[in-house]
Amino acid sequence: MARGFLMSKVPKSLLLFFNLLIYCFGLQFAVASELDATSQSLPWWKTAVFYEIYIKSFKDTTGDGVGDINGITEKLDYLQNLGVDAILLTPHYDSPGKDSGYDVSDYRRVMKEYGNNHDFDVLVSELKKRNMRIMIDVVVNHTSEEHPWFIESIKSKDNPYRDFYIWRDGVNGGPPTDNNSSFGGSSWEESKQTSQYYYHTFASSQPDLNWDNPRVRDAVYEDIRFWLDKGVSGLRFDAVADFVKPYDSKAQFEKFKSDTVEKVVDPKVHSYIKDMHENLFAGRDLATIAEVWRTPPEEIQLFTNPSNKEFNLAFIFDAIFIGRRSVWEAKEWSIPEFKRAISNVDRITGSNGWGAFFLSNHDNARVVSHFGNDSAEWRDSSSKALALLSLTQRGTPFIYQGDEIGMTNYPFKDINDFDDIQLKGYWRDLVETGTIDREYFLNNARQTNRDNGRTPFQWDSSTSGGFTTGTPWISVNPNYISINASSQVNEPKSVFNFYRKLIKLRKSNPALVVGEYRDLDPSHDQVFAYTRTLGTESFLIVINMTDYQVKYSLPNKLNRGKLILQNLPDQSSNSSLEFMDLRPWQASIYKLD
């Protein structure tokens, strides 16, 4: 009764104000609760930001010119400062190193150039101290020719390990079929010991395992379990769609061997992955991810749909292959084409699956050289623009080492400057046979080749960029004097610190993780504008992807919003979004009213 009396004495206008205040506070609390609940209910690998490390080129602690496991441990504080939650290692296993570790000779031993198993254990322990996780690269489509299984297999047709690999009789004095490998030349290699041929999807030094053999699958599971028991939290599976080969069908292989056409995936691949899930993944808090290069969308959905019990995520290559005609050849690309590819990456896994978002990795050119402008004038702003694009996508983001400081493509001059076994295979097939002009090939390789992403990390401006005290295994980019981590970590306006801000922003806003993605203006040939929306929370991202000023009007009249983050100094306090005067490579994120 007293409350009613007191309220009756309050003016109606003030009552309305109090009610509105209570309503707004309640709504804000409800939205905050919704977002917090969303974040807490997600598996760790959906909210995590990963950082891919190409071990050979990250940090050398022994002076032999090759990066090592201890070098990663030494730089964990740097990665923690960046804000990443997990690291992805390229292959760390013992290997003759003919394909940078993707030719494994012992699945249970660290490559001697990288250190030893104790070093790996220390790395895992130090990661745990920082509340960080580790994902390893699982290369089980093939082994090295120096793996004990293959050494036994090659001895005789009745050797117990013969069926660990794929052997066939020749036809008319030649290979069983005319299939070509992904690294050039025939996909069949003859063994003089038994006068039969073994199959290899990649180099002849990488014989393919026979996944149809249950003994192979069991042996693979045991080798993977060895690393899981050491504390590994994630598994990236290389060349998943190649596990079962169309090696007996020329018509089917015509699609399989193309650099641009989607490959056929044998249904048995899915049954084998399900078997692996049941025998290896089940009951573990793992992030499992499939590399599914050139794989049809319907197959990717099968790989990543949780009800199928295969993988958690997939690396989808639609965006990263924009501007590529083939493995080695570049082509012109447009911004609308790029936007369509990103929309495809968002859509391909379907409503139930989940993807990984990346614009560069160890097999591709540098992101700022490919999608941005790596000139001195625009490198900084375009690196930041591409960072904003990458870290506001739906899907788990993977940052490739060096992108966070704006590392660029290397100025290759001649074929001898390259180390890549794949490129040299194409050189033999195409240039040395006179099929492709030498300069045309080199001009394309300078833009596309994966050695661009494999040059040593540029830590500081000292000799060899602080990567090694010895002679690096491949040349350091000469621009390390001006582009290096040391000059950026404590510089608030650096590319590195822009990445830090973006990672922090993403982690504090579930809408930027799982929110709906919508491209607002797909056909615009200069500006990329899209929203990320979860419940009542919505963000607008606007990026000018050109080197010149653009006057831009949003197509659906989003008039008001608060600027949250921008890669260039803000020149106006005007919050109207209807008419924008965008500077070259300006990238902004707004929280919409």
Q: ∠ CA(79), CA(80), CA(83), 5° rounding? A: 95
Contact 580, 553 (CB under 8 A): yes
How many CB atoms are located within 10 Å of the residue 125 CB? 12
Using alpha carbons, list the distances in angstroms from residue 246 to 179, 190, 303, 317: 9, 19, 19, 22
537 an active-site residue? no
Q: Say if residues 405 and 483 touch (Cβ distance below 8 Å).
A: yes
The C-alpha angle 355, 408, 55, rounded to 5 degrees, equals 65
CA 263 – CA 257 distance, rounded (Å):
8
CA distance 86 to 234: 9
CA distance 475 to 269: 39
Question: In terms of Cα–Cα distance, which of 385, 409, 451, 291 is closest to 585?
Answer: 385
Q: What pLDDT, on the 0 to 100 scale, is given for residue 38? A: 55
Instruction: Give the per-residue pLDDT at 185.
Output: 86
Return d(Cα 449, Cα 583) in angstroms, integer: 31
Radius of gyration (Cα) for the chain, nearest Å? 26
Judged on CB neighbours under 10 Å (0-12, 13-18, 19+), 257 is middle
Q: Is the Cβ–Cβ distance between 141 and 243 less than 8 Å? A: yes
Q: What pLDDT is stored for residue 179 in this prediction?
A: 84
Name the token pair of 252.
């089917």
User: Nearest-5° angle of CA 128, CA 275, CA 357?
Assistant: 50
Q: Which of 238, 266, 310, 537 is catalytic?
A: 238
Q: Which residues of the chain have pLDDT under 50?
A: 1-10, 12, 15-35, 37, 249-260, 573-574
The one-letter code for the residue type at 400 is Y
Q: Indicate the pTM of the whole model.
A: 0.90
**Residue 298 annotated as catalytic:** no
SS3 505: helix
CB burial of 7-25 (b: ≥16 within 10 Å; e: otherwise) equals eeeeeeeeeeeeeeeeeee
Half-sphere exposure of 370 (CA within 13 A, CB side): 28
Output the pLDDT for position 327: 85
Please state, in angstroms and rounded to a whole number, the distance separating the CA atoms of residues 295 and 318. 10
* Whole-Å CA distances, 111 to 116, 149, 238: 7, 18, 18
| pLDDT of res. 9 | 44
> What is residue 397's DSSP assignment?
E
Strand-strand pairing, 579-582 and 196-199 = unpaired
Please report the sign of the dihedral spanned by the C-alpha atoms of residue 358, residue 359, residue 365, residue 368.
negative
Q: What span, in angstroms and rounded, lies between the C-alpha atoms of 459 and 57? A: 11
User: How many angstroms separate the CA atoms of 421 and 205, rounded?
Assistant: 11
CB 378 within 8 A of CB 370: no
CA separation for the pair 403, 54 (Å, rounded): 12
Long-range contact pairs involving 214-217 (C-beta distance under 8 Å, separation at least 24): 215/163, 215/164, 216/164, 217/272, 217/275, 217/276
Which is nearest to 103 in space by CA: 232, 210, 238, 288?
238
The C-alpha atoms of residue 187 and residue 209 are separated, in whole angstroms, by: 13
CA distances from 136 to 89, 182, 225, 267 (A): 5, 23, 12, 26
Cα–Cα distance, 1 to 111 (Å, whole number): 81
- 525's CB contacts (< 8 A; 6+ apart) are 334, 335, 336
Residues sharing a CB contact under 8 Å with residue 543, sequence separation 6 or more, in sequence order: 385, 388, 389, 527, 528, 529, 585, 586, 587, 588
Count of other CB atoms within 10 angstroms of residue 553: 11
Q: What is the pLDDT of residue 575?
A: 52
**143 vs 200: CA distance, rounded Å:** 10
C-alpha closest to that of 294 among 347, 256, 243, 335: 256
How does strand 93-94 pair with strand 167-169? unpaired
- Nearest partner of 76 among 138, 137, 136, 131, judged by Cα: 131
CA separation for the pair 328, 448 (Å, rounded): 6
The Cα–Cα gap between 554 and 116 comes to 56
CA 151 to mean position of chain CA atoms: 33
Taking only the tens place, the pLDDT of each residue in 11-31 is: 545 544 444 444 444 444 433
Identify the three-state secondary structure at position 97.
Answer: coil
